[in-house]
Chains A and B, each alone.
Chain A
């Protein structure tokens, strides 16, 4: 069974507890000696890298002599703050933690595939689905938190006599948002890998690197689009006139 080196390491260390956890939930891994699949191992690696980065930022926070990681984090924060204030409005600070985290996670996942011996976790349809479902639950929950039960009026449309039809349409459209977020991210990452492989089959020497570059560019763009759409949905859900 083909595994990446990092996955093999994780399975070697954690196969027994993971199998026990799966058995407790009534599930069985396809290969009991390697219960952790590649994409989960890669996600875990991204999680570790991000936690180390955040700890490094926190440990070296200083007003007089900011370190490099502090500069990086400040610029990320300022960019997301400016963008979300434009889209969501003045109450954007509550959502910044989730938005920045989501953006950094997806960006690191997308770029991880460019390193040899690692694969893109977002190239497996399950990972973008997880991101999309969590984002959807987050913005619906914030919609209810900001507007109470009146959030349901968002689904009713402009006039009251169209409400039964509009309810169905709006609910379908909201569910379709989960689908579109997932498929957009998954398809872009998957297509990037596929097209590099196809070009590799044509001319193995220099030509495929151009498509690795395309994959890197697309990784950045798709992260931006995912985060922007999250902000738009949040803004729409928590919209209230002051």
Chain B
């Protein structure tokens, strides 16, 4: 006797939204236990979080500004994920994008604002793509796991930026603080409203266009087909090698753009912490969007709000750890909810017949790959 998960014939409709809502609810309930234990009033804490993220236009603009790198990094992970690939290297690609953009500003500091920013953002796209190129080639040509290579390149990118801001690019006027010199004034992205800048529009357009292409184009269809079954994709003559290559490089390019926007929008100089953890948060955003590029924008805004709210309650004396735990709980709850979109919980003994039915099938099912299967599983929700 006991509980068992049984796969639904058809996933629950509206899984994506429902997953996030249920996850949020679960997190708030569990979080209030934590907050009570720490001696804080959960309701006023949550009220504070809400105010800080959506309280007024100014707060909303802060949340949206935060959502820009989250959304682009999420798009990077989701594009790869819709084909069953894991780009864990968005963090490094963000850094590479920022380095490339900063380099352009060093080379041509006297260009006018429009040209300089355009070149910097283009450079950031190339920078992110270049960092992803190695893992893409290794995966496409040799089948080397992109999970490992992209993850390890994060460390490489962090070392490079550390070397630059401590060495050749170090600002002599920074009083020993490891940072590159200030960017030229005209290299700052124009403001849009309060805390948001033009980067919000750029990210929104990029996410909308690629979200739409992934859902509606031949290219997107081929990605989903290859993500569902590589052999089925081969069967209709899709070249997996070139798909893997282009998708991973494109994924790196999106993350690189996030780096460029972070540098030109939110920062006045290149520093070691330019990545800000957005690359890793992007994995969470993509997972919550069920690896669907069209879903990352909404998730990024919601996740941005949680982050902004989390920062706000820290100033009220709530430990930073609890704010982090709340974020973790939301992810955990939403992913659990996503599972129940595809599975039902039933009570009953695993009676003899049902277990044995599974047995003869077992042997063939066991040969499926595990490593690359997960994004697809997550993406198995309603279309």
A and B together in one complex: no
The residues of B with any CB-CB pair to A shorter than 8 Å are: none
